[in-house]
Amino acid sequence: MCKKLNMRSLKISKKTKKAWRKHIDLSDVDNYLENVRLDERLGLPFAERKDSELYTLETPNLRGTHAVSSKAKNRLELKKKVPKCFSLLGSDSLISDPIAKRNRVKQPEERKNPITRRLEQERLISGRLKLKEKLALKNRAIANEKRKNRPKRGDFTTDIWSNEPSTNLSYINKEWMTTDTIRHTLTHLGLKKRKLPSSVGQKPSLLPPIEIPHPGLSYNPSFNDHQCLLRDIANKELALMKEEAHLDRVTTKMFQKVSLEQRDQKIMEELSEGLPSISQNSKEETVSLNNEDSASLTKVCSQSLRKTKKQKRKQKEQKELSKQLKERKIEKKKITDIYRLKHIKMSLDASDKKKDMLQKKRAQKKVKKCFEPKTLSKVKFIPLESDFKLGEELTGSLRNSEPSSNILKDRFKSLQQRNILAPGNKVLKLNKARVKRFIKPDHKILF
C-alpha cells in the first residue's frame, strides 16, 4: 500500500507494458505460479490425495505368505507396460496441454466429398482403372518379382561367371551387325558375358612351399648320400669357375696393354682411315670431268635419236612373247607337280613332324618355366648357397651338431623363388635428389 502511495506521489507513467512491469511488484504472483507448476509436475499435495493413492493393502495367502504372481500374469503386465525405448518419447510432467482443441490437417481421402469417394470406390470395384493406376500396378508387380528373386545377404548359391544371361536376345538382328556392334549393344544392355581372369585360382609357382632336403644333409647321413652331396656341390663349383674363366678370356685377356703414345697413334690412324691424299684428289677430279663430258654427249644423242614405229612394234611383240613364255612355264609346273605329289606329301609330313616336335619343346619349356623364378624386378634372384658339412665336421648326434643355416633367410628366399616376393637389394643409403646451389646476383662479392 505504501508502495502504491509512493508511486502515486511520484506520478510515474504506466502507459506501456514495459513501464507497468517495471514499477509494479509481481513477486507474490510469481511465487504462487511456481507453486502451482510444481504441484502440476509432481501431482497433487499429499494432504489432498486419497488413501488409496498413498497406501497399498497387502492380502496374505492361505499359507500366511504374500501372494505370488504367476508367469502368465507377469507377461501380461509386461505387455501392457510401455517399453523403455518408447518411454523417452513421452513427457514426464503431469501438466495438461494448455490447448485442448488443436487444428488437425485432414488427409486427402478425408477432404474428399463423400459422393465422389463413393463413386471412386464403385469405379475401382468394377475394374475401370486410370492409366496412372495401371502403370502403378504394373510397376508394383515388377518390383515384387525383383524382390522375390533378389538373393539374401550372405547367400552365394549362384556362380555369376558360368551363368548365361537369361534375357531373350532374339530381337537383336545379328545378320547385318558386325562383332563390334554386337559387343557394343550387349555392353550397354548389361548382357555382356563376364570372363574369368586367367590368374584367378592359379598359384604363382608350382614349386612346393617346403622342399625335401637332400639325404646327405642329415646329421648322421649314410656314406653314399654324403658323397653324392659333395659330388654335386663340387660339380656346381667347377661350372662356376669355368664360366668365370670364360668371361675373363673373352673380356680382359682379349685386349693387349699398350702405352699412351701407341694408343694415340692408333687412334689417329683409325680416324684418318679412308681419307684421300692430294694425288688421289687430282685424279678423281679429272675422272669426274671426263664423266660429265660423256654424260652430256649421251644426253644430246638420246634427244636426237627417237624410236621408230617398227621398233615400237618389235618391242610390243617381245613383251607378248615373254608373257606367253611365263604362262607356259606355269602350266608346265602344274603338270610336273602332279608327278611330284609323293615328294610334296613327304615334305608336308616332314614339316608336320617338325611342328609337333617344336610344340612339344615349347610345352616342355613352359612346364620348366613354372618351376623357375620369374623376373619380378631389375634384381636377379640369387639362390642360397647349398649347405653341406665335410666328413670331419659330422658328429653323428643331433645334440652335438651346430646349426649351419638361418631358417628366416631360407623362408625369405623360398618366397622369392616362388614369385610371391620380388627380389631386391639392401638399401643402405637413400638416393636423395641433388639440390642445385647457386649464389644470387645481389649476394655476389666482386673484387
pLDDT of 141 over the 90 cut: yes
pLDDT at position 137: 94
pLDDT of 228 over the 80 cut: yes
Q: pLDDT confidence of 89, banded at 50, 70, 90?
A: confident
Which amino acid is it at 239? A
pLDDT at position 33: 87
b/e 213-234 (16+ beta carbons within 10 angstroms → b)? ebebbbeebeeeebeebeeebe
H or E stretch at 5: helix 2-10
pLDDT tens digits, 274-317: 887 655 555 565 666 666 666 665 655 555 578 898 999 999 99
Query: Which residue did the predictor score with more confidence, 96 or 47?
Result: 47
Nearest CA-CA partner of 194 in 151, 162, 157, 166: 162
Q: pLDDT confidence of 112, banded at 50, 70, 90?
A: very high
pLDDT at position 58: 72
Cα–Cα distance measured from residue 222 to residue 214, given in angstroms and rounded to the nearest whole number: 12
- Answer for the pair 207, 369: CB distance below 8 angstroms, yes or no: no
Q: pLDDT confidence of 5, banded at 50, 70, 90?
A: very low
Cα–Cα distance measured from residue 375 to residue 393, given in angstroms and rounded to the nearest whole number: 38
Across 35-49, 64-78, 238-252, 334-348, the highest mean pLDDT is recorded for: 238-252
Query: Which residue did the predictor score with more confidence, 64 or 351?
Result: 351
- Answer for the pair 371, 205: CB distance below 8 angstroms, yes or no: yes
Query: Which residue did the predictor score with more confidence, 248 or 197?
Result: 248
Query: Which residue did the predictor score with more confidence, 50 or 192?
Result: 50
- Answer for the pair 183, 396: CB distance below 8 angstroms, yes or no: no
Cell digits of residue 436: 642445385
> How many CA atoms does the CB half-sphere of 20 hold within 13 Å?
3
pLDDT at position 121: 92
Which amino acid is it at 206? L
Once rounded to an integer, what is the mean pLDDT over residues 93-115?
83
pLDDT at position 161: 67
Cell digits of residue 431: 638416393
pLDDT at position 46: 79
